[in-house]
Each structure stands twice: as C-alpha cells, then as structure tokens.
Structure 1
Amino acid sequence: MKDREKILRYFAASGDEAKDMAIRLLDIADSVDRGRPFAVGPFMAPFSRQIGQTIAAHMKTVVAKSFGGYHEAERVKIGFTRSDYDGPVDFGVSLLSVTWDGRYCLIGHRDVLGSLMGLGIDRSVLGDILMQGAGCQVVVDSTMKDWLMDNFHKVAMVPVKVEEIPLSEIQPPKQTAKEVRATVASLRLDAVGAAGFGISRSKMVQAVEDERTEVNWQLAKSPSQTVKAGDIISIRGRGRIEIVEETGMSRKGRTGLLIHRFK
C-alpha cells in the first residue's frame, strides 16, 4: 500500500496504542486487497473505527466495517471487505453470561476484567463487559468462548457460573443523558469541557494535563486543542460528554452549544 507510511506517521502522533492499531489494521486490509473477500481483526479500543475508515479511504479497494456485539459497543472488531463483495461477514463474536451469588453486590467491572486478565488471556479477545447487578454479560472472541467457560470460575474470590447465551439476548446499558446548554468564548477543549462537565476551567486543564482526558477516544493533546460538534470528550472518573451542535452566536460573540452529559 503506497500510503502505508503516511498513515502510520499520522496515527503515531496520537500515541503508541494508535500506531499499533494502525499497523495491525493495515496488515488486515492488505490481506483483503490481495484477494481475500473479507478479514476481521481482534477487539480494539473505540478509536480503531476512525483508523479503519482512514485506511479504507486511502485504499479504495476495501470497505471498513465494525462490530462489537451491539450498536453502541465501545470495544469493537474492525473488518475489511473487498469493495465488490456483498456477502456476509463473520466477526466471530460470542456472548457469555456470568452470574454470582447476589449477596456479593459490590463486584464491579474492574473486578470482572481483573479476574479475566488474571487468567493470562490477551485483552484483544474481550469486548465490552456489561454489568447487571448479580452478574454480567461479556462479549468475547468466539474462538475463546469454550476455553473461558472451562477456566473462568471466580471473580474476586467469588464463585461464578459462566454459560454461552445467544448474541440476540445482549442487554446494552441504558444511557441517560443530561442536556446542557452553554455558551463559550471559544471551542477550546478546556472551555467546552468545563461547561459540559460543570467544573472550573482550571480543573478541566488539570484533567488534561494529568492525562485523564480523551477526545474521541484519543488522549487529549492539550487544553487548547479545538473541538467541534460530534466530538466526544471523556474524563476518567467523571464520565463523558458529547457536543451535539453549535446553536449560534450570542451578541457578545460567544458560541452557543448543546451538550449531552453521560455518567
């Protein structure tokens, strides 16, 4: 692929994780360009969608698709198909139900993920973990489902029951958004983030400098970077906001914004 190095340089600026994802996805796309009808990668972070679309736009001969078990999935698999292929694509995604004694209500997402990683498996075989009270659903690579059912027995020392269920029974988390309307002097990250999260600008700057802030699933570059409608800003421990639209300019030249805040 003639633009391979150009694409790698571009995503390398976003950090090692983005560069590693780009290398892996470029190899997958190349295999389709050379004749395979389709090829699918492992589970990756949300930013992989943008990388896949960028690769497809440069190659022209392939189309990028993504799937993580449900529409709003964060961790997804990126697949490439030949542009002239209209058949099915097997993403190799399965769903496991994990349940435990309801008395252990303090078990959380971190406990489940930690126990799974403690088995020595790679994060790339795991999709989203959907917590559901005394249990959860785990999206997994289909090649690992049997092994996990045989070896995943405890979460934080609590015995668990693991079984495969149809992907159609997946229960995505219910997301409720608070509507925030604000005006900002500029579309700088620190100004928009402070308005959206309801915190001071200095705290927003600190969250960026502490590397707790992401824009569209990439680590924020600086408090002064420009954001726009459609962007998603997240702060670890505070949730995320989505800039829905610019609603116009005030008489004082401030930009009006409609923002959705998710917890």
Structure 2
Amino acid sequence: MNIYQHFRPEEREFIDQVVSWKDYVESSYSPKLTDFLDPREQHILKVLIGEHGSVKYQLFGGISESERKRALIMPDYFVPTENEFQINLFEIDYPIKFLSIEHPQVLGSLMSLGLKRGKFGDILMKDGRVQFITATEISDYIKINLESIGRASIRLKELALEEAIKTDELWMEQDITVSSLRLDTIISGIHHISRQKSQLYIQQGLVKVNWTSIENHSFECAEGDLLSVRGFGRVKILSIEGRTKKDKWRIVAGKQK
C-alpha cells in the first residue's frame, strides 16, 4: 500500500521521518524522542505508528493542554515518565509597567537565535505574564543568548512545569457540512462568510495553516490542521467524519472562543 496517497505531497519528507523513527525503535528496542510537533504532524504520527503494534507513542508538550508536543516513540513494554520528554519552562521577566510583549515578538526573537521551530513548544501569555516551553537540549543556549524581545531588555526565570500559566483558551466544538475540503470552503463554512471573502483573505496573506501562510485558496485541508484567519481567531479540524447522503463533507471543528 502506498502510504503517501493519504497525505499531502509536501508531507512526504515528514512521513519518511516518522517511518525511520519507527524502524529505529523496532530494531534497537530503544525509545526515540522527537522535536515539538504541530497538531497536523501529531496526527500523521498517530496514523503511521498506529495503536496495536509492537511500537507505541506518547505525546507531551509540558502542560496537558499544549498544542505543540514532543512524541516519545517506544517499544510497547516501555513505561515513560514525564522527565523522558526533556522539556523546560521559562518565564520572561521584563518591565511590564512600561512595555508589552506580543506572541509574534517572542517567536521572532527565539527564531532569530538560529533555532528550529521544532525546538520550542507553546508560548503562554496571560495578564502581561509571558512564558515559553523549550526542549532541554537548547535551554542553556537560550539562557545565554536571549537578552531582549522587541524593545524590552529581559531576564529569564526557569520554572517547574507545574508553574505554567493556565490560559483561558476555550475551544467550542461545532459540526459543519461543506462541499469540499478546500481552504476557502472550510473558512467560509466555519466563519459564516462568503467564499469570495474567504478567498480574498487567503490572497491577502491573512490565513495560516499549521503556522504557515497559505495563499492558495484550493489548498486541501485535513484532519489535525490548525487554521487561523487574522481577525477571526483559530480553528482546529478535530475530525473529518466522512460524506453525507448529499455528498458533502461532515467535519467536527474546534473554534477558539
């Protein structure tokens, strides 16, 4: 069976990576820890590893509601602990009375250190407090090199994972039926706007899928995708339930309140 036919062409490299991780665990009887994966990558990994073989997986991103998670792929007899995921939590200390720090500034500052996006997880923000989650292997590098974000000089405080900010992020599930899985159609159905308007947002670069800007309105969405439209918030495609009698797609989506 051709495993690639169930996924997007641009996901082929990641599929090969997951297969090689699985082969490594099967042949070495040793666990394999991945970088942080986005929701779509997590979905692909779940499909390829499966639930009933000699290799299993567990996902963890530092807190229970994390979006970005590391995967531990392991023999079925292996019992992991939280420490196996090698995750650190930092809080940013900055002059909160005089400056504000936004999510894109934190992301940009971390990326400017030459780090891959996969080396850090969620960025947590509430009431001016800002935290971010990283892989342990790059934590010392960040402590040495991250000295400012935007116009703010900062200091980093390393915290236990239990001290992570509890964000008020709520997702409201909704069932929708759409004529196709095209990006413009999904956006139109979820946000109750016209196809023409959704196409305009896409063309203007206001739409991201899994944190990547997509300007092709016929891009086909899939289970596990995280969609964001500037001004409308974010949506997770939780499951694709199949077709209705009228040959439309039935989708369960989580819409951020």
Range class of TM-score, shorter chain: 0.7 to 0.9
Residues 19-52 of structure 1 deviation map (CA, whole Å, 9 limit, x = unaligned): 3322332222221111233111111222121121
User: Which position in structure 2 is the counterpart of 1:112?
Assistant: 106
SS of residue paired to 1:97: strand
How far does residue 222 in structure 1 lie from its aligned partner after superposition? 5.8
SS of residue paired to 1:33: helix
1:44 aligns with 2:37: yes
Distance 2:22 2:112 in 1: 32
Q: 1:70 aligns with which of 63, 68, 75?
A: 63
Residue identity opposite 1:116 in structure 2:
L
User: Which position in structure 1 is the counterpart of 2:76?
Assistant: 83
User: Which position in structure 2 is the counterpart of 1:249?
Assistant: none
Residue identity opposite 2:15 in structure 1:
A
User: Which position in structure 2 is the counterpart of 1:131?
Assistant: 125
User: Which position in structure 2 is the counterpart of 1:214?
Assistant: 209
How far does residue 99 in structure 1 lie from its aligned partner after superposition? 1.8
How far does residue 68 in structure 1 lie from its aligned partner after superposition? 1.0
Residue identity opposite 2:92 in structure 1:
V
Note closer, same or farther for the CA distance 1:168–1:192 as it changes in structure 2 (3 Å cut).
same
Note closer, same or farther for the CA distance 1:55–1:177 as it changes in structure 2 (3 Å cut).
closer
Matched-pair contact (CA < 8 Å) for 1:43–1:75: yes
Q: 1:158 aligns with which of 152, 168, 183?
A: 152
Note closer, same or farther for the CA distance 1:74–1:181 as it changes in structure 2 (3 Å cut).
closer
Distance 1:23 1:261 in 2: 31
Distance 2:18 2:131 in 1: 27
User: Which position in structure 2 is the counterpart of 1:149?
Assistant: 143
Extract unaligned runs of 5+ from structure 1: 247-251
Residue identity opposite 1:41 in structure 2:
T
Question: What's the TM-score once normalised by structure 2's chain length?
Answer: 0.76
What is the aligned length? 248
Note closer, same or farther for the CA distance 1:51–1:200 as it changes in structure 2 (3 Å cut).
same
User: Which position in structure 2 is the counterpart of 1:26?
Assistant: 19
Q: Look at both structures and tell me which one has the larger radius of gyration over its CA atoms.
A: 1
Note closer, same or farther for the CA distance 1:231–1:76 as it changes in structure 2 (3 Å cut).
closer
Distance 1:181 1:39 in 2: 36
Matched-pair contact (CA < 8 Å) for 1:48–1:78: no
How do 1:109-258 and structure 2 match up within 5 A? 109-177=103-171, 186=179, 190-191=184-185, 193-207=187-201, 212=207, 214=209, 234-237=227-230, 238-241=232-235
How far does residue 112 in structure 1 lie from its aligned partner after superposition? 1.0
How far does residue 67 in structure 1 lie from its aligned partner after superposition? 1.2
Matched-pair contact (CA < 8 Å) for 2:40–2:225: no
User: Which position in structure 2 is the counterpart of 1:53?
Assistant: 46
Question: What's the TM-score once normalised by structure 1's chain length?
Answer: 0.75
Extract unaligned runs of 5+ from structure 2: 241-245
Residue identity opposite 1:95 in structure 2:
L
Distance 2:147 2:12 in 1: 35
Matched-pair contact (CA < 8 Å) for 2:89–2:133: yes
The sequence identity of aligned pairs, in percent, is: 20
Distance 1:97 1:226 in 2: 34
How far does residue 244 in structure 1 lie from its aligned partner after superposition? 7.9
How far does residue 262 in structure 1 lie from its aligned partner after superposition? 1.4
SS of residue paired to 2:131: strand
**Aligned Cα RMSD in Å?**
3.9
